[in-house]
Amino acid sequence: MNTIADQFRLDGKVALVTGASQGLGQAMAIALAEAGADLVAADLGDSHETRDRIRKTGRGCEAVQADVAAPGAPQLLVDTAMRAFGGLHILVNNAGIIRRAPFLEFAQKDWDDVMNINIRAVFLLSQAAARVMVADGRGKIINIASMLSFQGGIRVPSYTASKSAVMGLTRLLACELGPQGINTNAIAPGYMATDNTKPLREDPERNRAILERIPMGRWGTPEDLRGIVVFLASPASDYINGYTIAVDGGWLAR
């Protein structure tokens, strides 16, 4: 019989992580490799640093520079996994952007750009990956949601709308794909020290207000997502389906 530690292993699995060149995506990709998975690391930027760090763990990694919102990109990424490793068992939809402006001044382009990457690409990539997973009879889809999947926020209308949609799509995929052996869940990171939150951290008043509400008293880091992504990708979470799990230092508990 396998031990509980064995239930967290990903040996023989292939994972595709978008937005993998830095920050949350890079940390999650490396964590999956350390647990035993081979990786396709995709990003609009250069993911070669991620690829090199993963290969040092002894796992395989293909770095793909691609815009996940571009026509044909979802199928390209799935095809890369199939060609390089012969399968695809785990998808982490991490790529995302944010634009900030007051609602009354928010530009249509900023709305469209964010929605295209944060939810349209998630839908299309999940669809392409699920076709492979359904044929295989198993799979894990992990979406990256947000605190703003639960709350309204300010000055980020397209981000709030897209991340609320991510949580809804996660539930739909769980209902439709669960009977075919595929688990779909989401991670909602709290306030993380990444490029997306740099303007907030550099604003003394906003920084102080955010920290005062987080019971743990600190900003999160990419490393704080390592455990949850491995858990959701592994057999240890086989009966969890359709949930958005906050990793927020207690933010939502206040």
Biggest CA–CA distance in the chain, Å, is 60
Say if 40 falls within a structural domain.
Answer: yes
| Residue pair 189/144 in contact by the 8 Å Cβ criterion | yes
Instruction: Give me the number of domains the chain comprises.
Output: 1
Q: 134-170 burial, b for 16+ CB within 10 Å, e for fewer?
A: eeeeebbbbbbbbbbbbeeeeebbbbbbbbbbbbebb
| Residue pair 203/155 in contact by the 8 Å Cβ criterion | no
Say if 252 falls within a structural domain.
Answer: no
Give ∠ CA 108-113-119 in degrees, rounded to 5.
115
What three-state secondary structure class fits 84?
helix
pLDDT tens per residue, range 165-219: 999 999 999 999 999 999 999 999 999 999 888 999 999 999 999 999 999 999 9
Residue 216 pLDDT: 97
Say if 60 falls within a structural domain.
Answer: yes
Between CA 106 and CA 138 the distance in angstroms is 41
Say if 127 falls within a structural domain.
Answer: yes
The model's pTM: 0.97
Is residue 63 predicted with pLDDT exceeding 80?
A: yes
Q: What is the mean pLDDT of the chain?
A: 97
- CA-to-CA dists, residue 202 to 105, 106, 159, 197, 198, angstroms: 22, 22, 20, 9, 6
Annotated catalytic sites, by residue? Answer: 159
Say if 216 falls within a structural domain.
Answer: no
pLDDT tens per residue, range 81-130: 999 999 999 999 999 999 999 999 999 999 999 999 999 999 999 999 99
> Number of helices and strands (H, E) in the chain?
9, 7
Contacts of 212 (CB under 8 A, 6+ apart): none
Say if 171 falls within a structural domain.
Answer: yes
Residue 46 pLDDT: 95
Say if 215 falls within a structural domain.
Answer: no
> What's the domain range around 189?
5-194+222-247
Q: What is the CATH number of the domain that holds 24?
A: 3.40.50.720
Between CA 14 and CA 20 the distance in angstroms is 15
pLDDT band at 1 (very low <50, low <70, confident <90, very high): low
Residue 195 pLDDT: 85
Say if 201 falls within a structural domain.
Answer: no
Contacts of 152 (CB under 8 A, 6+ apart): 160
